[in-house]
Chains A and B, each alone.
Chain A
Amino acid sequence: MNIEAIREQFPILHQNINGHPLVYLDSAASSQKPRSVIDAVKRYYELDNANVHRGVHTLGSRATDAYEGAREKVRALLNAASAQEIIFTRGTTTALNLVASSYARSVCGEGDEIVLTAMEHHSNLIPWQQVAKATGATLKYIPLQEDGTLRIEDVEQTITDRTKIVSVVYVSNVLGVINPIKEITAIAHRHGAKMVVDGAQSTPHMKVDVRDLDCDFYAFSGHKMCAPTGIGALYGKKELLEQMEPVEFGGEMIDHVDLYDSTWKELPWKFEGGTPIIAGAVGLGAAIDFLNEIGLDEIARHEHELTTYAYNRLSEVNGITIYGPEQDRAGLVTFNLDDVHPHDLATVLDTKGIAIRAGHHCAQPLMRWLEVSSTARASFYLYNTEEDVDRLVDALHQTKEFFGYAIG
C-alpha cells in the first residue's frame, strides 16, 4: 500500500493548521474524503441530478440508476443476499433507531430482555432505553473484563430465553475492542433472540460479511468511511424487514394511497419515506469503490501495523494511561496524560496542527466504567503514517513540559 499515493488523493490533508502541516487523527469521529468521492458528488449534481423513482425523463432514470447502483455496492460490501435488504439511512444512529422503533417495539413486552454492553456508543444505547421504557422490557449488560473485552462465558450468562434482542458494537470507538460478533450471534440465536450490530467503527476498516456473521441487523455510517455525511445504511434480513412497519410515512414509500388508508411499497423502499439522500448515496458508492480498489484487507493490515507502532510509542510517554486491550485492537488509541485534562491537551495539539478527539466520545456509561470524565483519542485511517504518530508523541512530550512549567 503506497501511503503517499493515497494521501495525494485527499486534498484536505495538504494544508497547514496553525502554521504546521495537518496531522489528522480523528477519523473515528469522521474520515476525510478522497477526490473521487468529492468528484462523484459534484458530477452527480452537474450531470445527473433529478428525483428518483418517478421521472419518465432521462435525468430521472440516471438519478435512479445512480442511487440504486449505490445500494448494490453496499450489498456487495456487506455480502448481503439481496439489495432489498439494504435500507439507506442518515447514518448508524438512524439505522439503529429504525430497528428499535419498528422491530423492537413490536416484539418486546413486559419482562422481555434487551442485552447490550457497557461499551456502547449512545446511539446503540438510548434507542433501547426508549424501547424498554415504552414496552416494559429490561435492559441487561454483558459485563466487561478489566481490559474492556467481553468474555464468551459472560455473554452466555447474560443472554436468556427472555432475551428478544442483543445489540452490540462490533468495534468500540473508545477501547478499540473488536467484539466476537459471530459467537455472540450464535448464542443469541440459540435463545431465539435477534442480533443487532453497530458497525460504525468496523465497516470502514475491515471486511464485513453479514451472512457469515449471521446477524439479523447491521448498521453503519458513510462519513466514517470516506463518504459524505448524511448517508449510511441498515442491513436487515429480508424476512424481518418484511414483517416490520415503516417509521416514516409520506412520499416515495407508498404503494397505493386512499383517503383513509394506504399501502406500502416493497422492500427496501417502504422504509425510505421522502426524497432520499441521492447525492450522499452516490458518494457512498464512490467511497466503496475507492476502498475496494485499495482493498479492505490491505487497509486493515496497514492500520494494525500503525496502531501497534502507536501503542508502543505512546506507552513510552511518562504519565500516560492507555485504555483498552494491548493486543487485537482496532485503529485507535484512547488515553489520558497525568495532570493534563484532555481538552487542554487537544487545544495544545491543535496549535501544533494535530487533530485528536477529547471528551466522552458519546459513551458516558463507558467513561464511568473507566472512572474518568473524559479521555483523549487518536484514531487512524488508511492515510495516516508513522510520521503522524511521531508528531503526536513529540507533541505530548511538549505538552507535558508546557503544563509542568505552567502549573509549576
Chain B
Amino acid sequence: MQLDDLYRRVIMDHYKNPRNRGTLDEQAVTINLNNPTCGDRIQLQLQVEGDVVKQAKFTGEGCSISMSSASMMTEAVKDKTLGEALAMAEKFSSFIKGEQVEFDENEDIEALSGVSKFPARIKCATLAWNALRKGIEQQS
C-alpha cells in the first residue's frame, strides 16, 4: 500500500479548494446524509430544472477523501440529466470497488482510483454519491 496512490495531488487540491461548497435556496432538492460509523456528514443540494441538474452544492464535514469526492461529484453532475447523473453514480460505485472505468470529461474523479486498495475508506468516497442517488430518487 502506497500512500501516494491514495492521496493524489488532485484529491488534496479538491480537499483544500473544494468546488461548489455552499448552499442553494430552499427550492433546491436537499439531502442530508451521515456516515454513522465515522461521523462524516454531508448536505447536498441540487438545483433541478426540468430533467437537468443545473447546479449542485454541498456543505459538510469529513476527511480528505469524502470531501474531495463531494467536490468532484458536484462538478461532474452539473448540466447532466437525472438519468445521466444516476448512471454516473452507478459507474462510480463500480469504479471505487476497483473496476477499470473512465470518466472522460471528469478525469479528476479517476484520481480516487487508489481508494479501492483501502477498503476502510471506500465508504468515505461514496458518501457524496449516495447523497446524489437519494436526491435523484426524491426527484423521480
Contacts and interface: CB of A to CB of B under 8 A. Distances in A.
B64 interface: yes
Contacts of B1: 18, 351
A264 B12 CA distance: 62
Given A343-B65, A347-B6, A406-B9, A373 B40 contact: yes
Interface stretch (A2-10, A179-187, A358-366): A358-366
Nearest to B61: A373
Nearest to A367: B39
Contacts of A359: 37-39
Given A347-B6, A347-B118, A402-B7, A374 B65 contact: no
Nearest to B66: A343
Interface string B19-53: 00000000000000000011111000000000000
B38 A347 contact: no
Interface in B51-71: 61-66
A343 B9 contact: no
B38 A374 contact: yes
A248 interface: no
Interface in A350-408: 350-351, 358-360, 364, 367, 373-374, 402-403, 406-408
Contact of A406 (B2, B12, B37, B120): B12
A341 interface: yes
A359 B124 CA distance: 12
B39 A344 contact: no
Contacts of A277: none
Nearest to A339: B16
Contact of B39 (A18, A347, A374, A407): A374
B18 to A, nearest CB: 13
A213 interface: no
Interface of A is mostly: helix
B121 interface: yes
A407 B16 contact: yes
A216 to B, nearest CB: 32
Contacts of B63: 341-344
Contacts of A342: 63
B122 to A, nearest CB: 12
Interface residues of B, number: 24
Nearest to A345: B63
Nearest to B15: A407
Interface string A102-139: 00000000000000000000000000000000000000
A364 B38 CA distance: 10
A367 B61 CA distance: 13
Contacts of B12: 403, 406-408
Interface string B87-103: 00000000000000000
Given A351-B3, A406-B9, A408-B12, A360 B39 contact: yes
Contacts of B15: 407
The residue in B2, B15, B37, B63 that gathers the most chain A C-beta atoms within 10 A of its C-beta is B63
A348 interface: yes
The residue in B12, B39, B64, B124 that gathers the most chain A C-beta atoms within 10 A of its C-beta is B39
B127 to A, nearest CB: 11
B38 A343 contact: yes
A373 B41 contact: yes
A406 B5 CA distance: 12
A339 to B, nearest CB: 9
A341 B15 CA distance: 11
Interface in B76-127: 118, 120-121, 124
Given A351-B3, A406-B7, A408-B12, A360 B38 contact: yes
A232 B103 CA distance: 50
B124 to A, nearest CB: 6
A364 B39 contact: yes
Contacts of A367: 39
Given A367-B39, A374-B38, A343 B121 contact: yes
A341 B62 contact: yes
Contacts of B118: 347
A227 B41 CA distance: 34
Given A343-B38, A373-B40, A406-B9, 18 more contacts: A341-B63, A343-B63, A343-B124, A347-B3, A347-B120, A347-B121, A359-B38, A364-B39, A373-B41, A373-B61, A374-B39, A402-B3, A402-B7, A403-B12, A407-B15, A407-B16, A408-B9, A408-B16
Interface of A: 18, 341-344, 347-348, 350-351, 358-360, 364, 367, 373-374, 402-403, 406-408
A-B pairs with lowest CB-CB distance, top 5: A343-B63, A341-B63, A360-B39, A373-B61, A374-B39
27 contacts: A18-B1, A341-B62, A341-B63, A343-B63, A343-B65, A343-B66, A343-B124, A344-B7, A347-B118, A347-B120, A350-B120, A351-B1, A351-B3, A359-B38, A359-B39, A360-B38, A360-B39, A373-B40, A373-B61, A374-B40, A403-B12, A406-B9, A406-B12, A407-B12, A407-B16, A408-B9, A408-B12
